[in-house]
Amino acid sequence: MTRFRLTIEYDGRPYMGWQRQSHGPSVQQAIEEAALRITGAQATVYAAGRTDAGVHALAMAAHVDIDREIAPFRLREGLNALLRPQPIAILDCETVADDWHARFSCLGRAYLYRIVNRRPPLTLDEGKAWRIPRALDVAAMHAAAQRLVGRHDFTTFRSVHCQSASPIKTLDRLDVRREGDVVLVEAAARSFLHHQVRSMVGCLAFVGQGKWSAADLQAALDAQDRAALGFNAPPDGLYFVEALY
């Protein structure tokens, strides 16, 4: 048995999310089916993060155990060939120690959220960004975001479907910056609650539009109540960008 670490890029739009579901296609299922065709054996692919429906990945980390002699390069090429024409690509494939685990060995996760701050509809970015027509005050968003950095009870920013044992997480970084009409939010933490990044971005968008002050964001955090959430941002703009080990 050899354990392979995979680095995966995907367009999340056609999928119910990373995780295998009975009611629709998933990224995990697509890769597992491709692996089955190469090895002839069922294998589970474990990922660092379980992205939601419509959420993308630029470099998801995952691993799979293969019971056959195969060079990492050949495995990558085979998976990519069999995944065609699905928008999933294995960017990198390497052997790792048998106790290396994409999810449990992961020391940090980073997400990027892309907002296109303009009134006209999206064309090339359709499904790949959240369009907000009203001009965003990015300095106010970044300043308010710092209220969320650190160790907090993030119940307000947690989906009711979240399976995490505790709502207490340490957010290492939440930066907001502008590049032309694109506003980028970068979030990093050891781990996130379900919907945490989208919920934080939704509330930061309230701040950027002047609907909320930084104090309102603080009050939402302090409420430790999902009902205090301002807005849950759509999946379109969210990208899993890095897993640290």
Positions in the binding site for its own copies (CB under 8 A): 9-11, 56, 58, 76, 80, 83-84, 87-91, 118, 120-124, 126, 128
Total Cβ atoms within 10 A of residue 222: 13
Q: Tokens 């999310």, residue?
A: 17
Question: Annotated catalytic, 98?
Answer: no
Closest distance of CB 61 from its own copies, Å:
15
Q: Nearer Cβ to its own copies, position 12 or 208?
A: 12
Are the CB atoms for 143 and 213 separated by under 8 Å?
A: no
Total Cβ atoms within 10 A of residue 216: 16
CA pair distance 214, 234, nearest whole angstrom: 22
Closest distance of CB 195 from its own copies, Å:
22
Catalytic residue among 52, 65, 175, 222: 52
Q: Where are the alpha helices (DSSP H) in the chain?
A: 27-39, 72-83, 138-145, 196-208, 214-223
15 annotated binding-site participant: no
Q: Nearer Cβ to its own copies, position 143 or 182?
A: 182
Q: Which helix (H) or strand (E) holds 120?
A: none
Q: Nearer Cβ to its own copies, position 27 or 233?
A: 27
Closest distance of CB 10 from its own copies, Å:
5
Tell me which residues are annotated as active site: 52
Binding positions are: 111
**Annotated binding-site members for substrate:** 111
